[in-house]
Copies of this chain bind each other. A is one copy, B any other.
Amino acid sequence: MTSRLEALCMEKGLKMTGQRRVISQVLSEADDHPDVEEVHRRAVQIDPRISIATVYRTMRLLEDAQVIERVDLGDGRARYEEATADHHHHLIDTRTGRIIEFASPELEAMKERIAHELGYKIVGHRLEIYGVPLDDAGDDAQDEEERP
């Protein structure tokens, strides 16, 4: 069965090897933001003969083909998500590591305006919010020592 991303790859004219098929499948099924190691872990479960180097190479390939997008969440390793048309950003739950995506047209407009005021045209941007759930934010939220 050909996965969503595999179809996309073929559309883009990428040579479809067994490894790329497996990685595409893994990424199609992922609903989180896995890093390379995690993608490899999942890929190996489908076909044990996939090396981490190939995962690295394939992620870069898919990124260049704009099939996936790299997300730098400041934890020192690259994470990935499927490429989407709309710009969105991430709220990271510092307690659990959960990542919540959100979009805000107003925010986009405001950034656009700020850049313009500074004499610049935006070619890219990223916003990350680190937070703790409101309900249990009372205890150690104040001196939560994060190194984002």
Chain A residues close to B by CB (< 8 Å) = 70, 72, 74, 91, 93-94, 100, 102, 104, 106-107, 110-111, 114-116, 118-135, 137, 141, 144, 146-148
Residues on B with C-beta less than 8 A from A110 are 104, 106-107, 110
Query: Given A104-B114, A114-B102, are A146 and B128 neighbors across the interface (CB < 8 Å)?
Result: no
Contact status A115-B129, CB under 8 Å: yes
Residues on B with C-beta less than 8 A from A91 are 114-115, 118, 120
Residues on B with C-beta less than 8 A from A129 are 111, 114-115, 120, 122, 124-125
Query: Given A70-B147, A72-B74, A148-B126, are A137 and B121 neighbors across the interface (CB < 8 Å)?
Result: yes
A-B contact pairs, 12 of them (CB 8 A): A91-B120, A93-B120, A119-B134, A119-B135, A120-B133, A120-B134, A121-B133, A122-B131, A123-B141, A124-B148, A126-B128, A127-B127
Copies of the polypeptide in the assembly:
2
Contact status B124-A127, CB under 8 Å: no
Residues on B with C-beta less than 8 A from A93 are 120
In the bound assembly, the distance between CA atoms of A74 and B122 in angstroms comes to 16
Residues on B with C-beta less than 8 A from A146 are 123-124
In the bound assembly, the distance between CA atoms of A124 and B102 in angstroms comes to 16
From residue A78, how far is it (CB to closest CB) to chain B in Å? 10
Contact status A118-B147, CB under 8 Å: no
Can you list the 5 inter-chain pairs with the closest CB atoms, starting with the nearest?
A120-B131, A124-B130, A121-B137, A125-B129, A127-B127
